[in-house]
C-alpha cells in the first residue's frame, strides 16, 4: 500500500519521493506523440499508440546528444547495430532525406513522420526490414531426423 504523502491522485506514486527521476526528453517525446495521436491525418494508422512507443524507444536509444536529435554518429551507431554499416556520406544522405530543418540531425518529429508518413527513405526501409526480420518465428523443439536422401 502506498503512503498517502507519496501518492499523486492524477499520476499514481510520486516518482520524486522514491528517488526516480523523470526524463525530460521522454516527456517531450510523449507530448509530440500525444499531438500525433490527436491529429486527424493519422487516425487511420494501425496500432498508432504502440508504434509511437516503439519509435520513442528507438529514438531515445540512439539520441545521445541530449538535444532531442539523432546526429550523424547516433545514426551510424543505429545502422551498425542493425548490421547495416554505412559510410559517413551515406549517413549524411540518409539524414538529408529526413531532416526538415536543415540542421544536419534528425529530430523526433521528423523521425516519426518518416516512419508513419507516405514518404519513403533509405532509413525507413532499413528499419522496416529490421522489424520484419524480428517477426519471423524460429522453429522450436527437436530437429527432425534426416537422411542422405534429404540433402540437396
In this structure, which long-range contacts are made by residues 81-89, counting pairs with CB atoms below 8 Å and at least 24 apart in sequence? 82/126, 82/127, 82/130, 84/126
Q: Is residue 37 part of a domain?
A: yes
Residue 134 has a pLDDT of 58
Residue 20 three-state SS: coil
Name the grid cell of 59.
529514438
Residue 8 has a pLDDT of 46
CA distance 107 to 75: 12
Provide the domain limits for residue 97: 23-128
CATH value at residue 91: 1.10.238.10
Residue 86 three-state SS: coil
> Residue 105, class by beta-carbon neighbours within 10 Å (0-12 exposed, 13-18 middle, 19+ buried)?
buried
Q: Mean pLDDT, the chain, as a whole number?
A: 77
Instruction: Kindly report whether the global pTM for this prediction surpasses the value 0.95.
Output: no
CB 99 within 8 A of CB 128: no
| One pLDDT digit (tens) per residue for the chain, 152 residues | 444 444 444 455 555 555 555 667 788 888 988 998 888 888 888 888 888 898 888 888 888 767 788 888 888 888 888 888 788 898 898 888 888 888 888 888 888 888 887 776 777 777 776 666 555 566 677 877 777 777 66
CA distance 126 to 136: 16
Residue 80 has a pLDDT of 87
Closest CA to 59 of 47, 50, 49, 71: 71
Q: Is residue 62 part of a domain?
A: yes
Number of domains making up the chain:
1
Amino acid at each position: 500500500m502506498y503512503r498517502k504523502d507519496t501518492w499523486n491522485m492524477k499520476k499514481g506514486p510520486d516518482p520524486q519521493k522514491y528517488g526516480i527521476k523523470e526524463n525530460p526528453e521522454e516527456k517531450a517525446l510523449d507530448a509530440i506523440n500525444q499531438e500525433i495521436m490527436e491529429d486527424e491525418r493519422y487516425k487511420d494508422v494501425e496500432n498508432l499508440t504502440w508504434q509511437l512507443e516503439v519509435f520513442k524507444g528507438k529514438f531515445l536509444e540512439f539520441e545521445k546528444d541530449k538535444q532531442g536529435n539523432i546526429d550523424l554518429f547516433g545514426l551510424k551507431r543505429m545502422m551498425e547495430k542493425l548490421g547495416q554499416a554505412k559510410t559517413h556520406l551515406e549517413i549524411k544522405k540518409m539524414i538529408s532525406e529526413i531532416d526538415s530543418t536543415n540542421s544536419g540531425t534528425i529530430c523526433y518529429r521528423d523521425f516519426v513522420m518518416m516512419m508513419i508518413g507516405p514518404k519513403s527513405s533509405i532509413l525507413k526501409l532499413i528499419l522496416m526490414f529490421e522489424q520484419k526480420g524480428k517477426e519471423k518465428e524460429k522453429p522450436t523443439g527437436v530437429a527432425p531426423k534426416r537422411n542422405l536422401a534429404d540433402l540437396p
